[in-house]
Amino acid sequence: MVSRRVFLSGGGGVLTAVLAGCLNSDNSSLAPGTDTSTDWPYPRADTANTGYVPDAKAPRESVRERWTVGRETATGIPAIVDERIYLPTAGMLLALDAESGNELWRFTLPEARDPSSPIVYDGRVYMTSEKRLYALDPATGTSHWSYGADGHEYTTLTVVAGEGVPTPHLIAGTTSGTIVAVALQTGDEMWQKDLSSAISAFGFRSFVLYVGTDEGTVYAFYWKETDTFPHEAWRSTVDGAIGTTIPSSDGVAVHTTDDSLSLLQGGESNGTTLWTIDRKLARVAPIYTNPTFYTAGTQGITAIREYNEQTDWQIDGRYDAVAPVAAGDTLYLSSGDTVHAFAADGGFGIGSIRTGAKRWSHSTSSTVQGLAIANGALFVACEGSDQTLYCLEAA
């Protein structure tokens, strides 16, 4: 793992090499996923928001419905761990069995507030419902603790853990611009940090936490040797409120609510913009597989190389209803009320004239709200209550 000394001294080339060794090296290395026991513990698969599970098996060449369930409308992306699905719906969090779709339990929120997309970490389910943070038991749905202080309204959350972070903890952003950190097991407050505006996004890899705000400021924080409290390394600004931050081998990619994607560099160029693309290519948050970003925009699907913004391939069409996800060598996207699977190599062709790229399409009864991959299947959360969640597997 890259050291703090390299990170702080501007060793951008070393940082790139180290992270590249931990991730796929290019498109040709993407292979069909075979693991049917993979999880989806975060809204975008992991704390780095890649939207990608390299080894996961999911419907590749053909598709069928394993099951569907109709409940209240989905309000976010489900977390899926140990064959349990945690689905945020209007006013409650539902736990479902991944094999059958049967309901296991439900946690109803006070005042019928909608839960956030949940996080599952180390035997706890974490979520927020505006003014409180919750830690639930994954087997029963009972609350281990809840936290709410100083009248904060919470916007987003993640877990920081691993080598380089002395004490794992849950962090949450607020509308007032405060980052609140609490202990995972007890819910006790560990620290707070005030920033300039509402916190809208977190991205974490190794010991570096990237924070985005609704005024377009991006912060990079790191942990010193044994300090619980993180320290600022740099900050930068982009146009538009930040919706997603994706730590990458060359820095951090930032997707904004203005539908642009910018790559901010690391190393000696900390925080400077290497390139920016607009809604034509990146209307929603992308998939990241290193060194490729797979983007969906008004112009189509595009495979873009991180280090020089070069386009490897492009497919025309609108598949930008929600942020795409990927498993193995397959991309999953939505055009609104239909889910589509595409080959990650873009098939064959020149420019946007392609053949052999699309693998299958499957219609849903209402608008797609979010996608997740686990247990050998693709899970499709929808806004309508007739069919709230689809579990799609290989036919």
Q: What is the pLDDT along the chain (395 residues), one digit of tens a residue?
A: 455 555 555 444 333 333 333 333 345 579 999 999 999 999 999 999 999 999 999 999 999 999 999 978 899 999 999 999 999 999 999 999 999 999 999 999 987 789 999 999 999 999 999 899 999 999 999 999 999 988 899 999 999 999 889 999 999 999 999 999 999 999 999 999 999 899 999 999 988 999 999 999 999 999 987 888 899 999 999 999 999 999 999 899 999 999 999 999 987 788 999 999 999 999 999 999 999 999 999 999 999 999 999 999 999 999 999 999 999 999 999 999 999 999 999 999 887 788 999 999 999 999 999 999 999 999 999 998 889 999 999 99
**Separation between Cα atoms, residue 69 and residue 145, nearest integer Å:** 29
Give the per-residue pLDDT at 8: 55
Residue closest to 178 by CA, chosen among 160, 187, 188, 191: 191
Q: Which residues pair with 348 in a beta bridge?
A: 355
Question: Rounded to whole angstroms, how far apart are CA atoms 285 and 297?
Answer: 10
Per DSSP, the three-state class of 195 is coil
**pTM reported for the whole predicted model:** 0.93
Record the tokens describing residue 121, joined without a space.
């970490």
Radius of gyration of the chain (CA): 20
Q: Residue 333: what residue type?
A: L
Which CATH number describes the domain made up of 4-393? 2.140.10.10
What pLDDT is recorded for position 272? 96
Q: Choose among 262, 194, 207, 256: nearest CA to 233.
A: 207
- Residue 364 class from Cβ within 10 Å (0-12 exposed, 13-18 middle, 19+ buried)? buried
